Structure 1
Amino acid sequence: MSKLVLLVEDIPYQRRSLSDELKESGWDVIHANDERDALYRLQVLHKEGKKLNIAAIDLGLPPAKDDPLKYGLQLIEKLRSQKSYEDLPILAYTALVSFDYAAVVRRLLNFRSSFICLRPMGEDVQFVEILEFVSKGYLFLSPAPASYLPSAVLAHADPLDDKQWETLAQLSAGITQNEAGKKTGVSGDTIKTRVKDAKTILVGRKELPEDARTEELIAWYRENRVRYGRD
């Protein structure tokens, strides 16, 4: 019997990585990019008479800025308000660490939703195994994110060096690699090497896919700079 999961994730490389893991474990995956897209796809599923086994929802959905988890929580609340999904297993997750952990967990418990922090200590969370567990009707709550750990632990978990972070910050600001070299007094080749080395490290840690483009590296930087105290 096929197992169907709705994966609501707006970051392309994260969506692809999680989707690949799920498919390898026998799950059929329906993708949605944001709250509106998710609600539309659920309508289509309902019309087609297909049964959804679980929803996996990134809490950090766009376009939230001041409250980065607003739209993920809002989507879960809307699902719980619909009779068709009031008992649907839901696994909420985030890679962010700068949020009120206790408040978020309280809200999710009210929604009868499970929650995990992806890579809370720089290590990969066993996402599929937890999703399988939650799909059977169990609740799962992640340990607190890395921001709750001593700064020494965070520093140890930092995968990149200062120069690599500096280069990613420049690229994130729209500066080209050649311009970044001129601003820091190094050659364009040096900047390219930093970018290449950063990709290699993150691919090795399974935080980026092997064929990651520079755009995906920049997206990783924007998602993780707070986590490593680089904001």
Structure 2
Amino acid sequence: MTRNTSFDGKSRTFSRNIYGTTKGQIRLRVLTRDLAEWLPVSSRPLRILDAGGGFGPVSQRLAAEGHHVVLCDLSAEMLNEAREQIAEKGLSAHFDFIHGPIQSLTVADLGQFDLVLCHAVLEWVEDQASLLAGLNALLKPGGHLSLMYYNRDGLLYHSLVKGNFDYVHANLVRKRRQKLTPGWPCRPVKVDGWLSELGFVITGRSGVRVFHDYMSNVHGPFPTEEEMIEMELAHSRTEPFMHLGRYMHIFAHKAL
């Protein structure tokens, strides 16, 4: 059986530790910039699947542009929070909600989508190749996949920089699972291979938090949050920094 991770009981901690911090704002700004630049302009509202979308921070912005979103998540708490946020913004008519695993979604029930968002989900799922195959089936020919995942190469580099050599020698496996530490971080070369096998063409790539997590002993005044975000955006697509991101964002096109 495929193992997934639910954030029931952790939604407030997740919100505070991720979206209530500079690193969460970096994530949102990179994703929203990338989608604004890479998603082709459409003359009609798009059907969007936000797979494992949690609160739906990115899909809420797309819904505000007039698109329709199906938001699926394994956590009832996350979906309740999403409903509240979406209602407060007057966007409820643009959303449908599904409580359950992504793997339960079928084309027979939902049809196919123009855009599939899968952000910070892959690293919480054991059978990652099967998950991507399922998302591919739900995507229309000519559609696009926005995939952000926890970068194992970035995790290794961070561990080396911080001197966590025992962790490195343990092949990045902790003796005790930490609540908000993904169990299955992904190597970009492996993810690229899976996408290629499914017939995707990668048209965009960005690193997320390419230097933020490596900063220490800053000389002079510490940068403001906005200065940090602007510098992250400036280097997120630049070699070699892009590949050191704690997360990778991939934008891929499904062939007709």
TM-score by length of 2: 0.36
Higher helix content, 1 or 2: 1
TM-score (norm 1): 0.39
Structure (1/2) with the larger strand percentage: 2
The structure that has the greater radius of gyration is 1
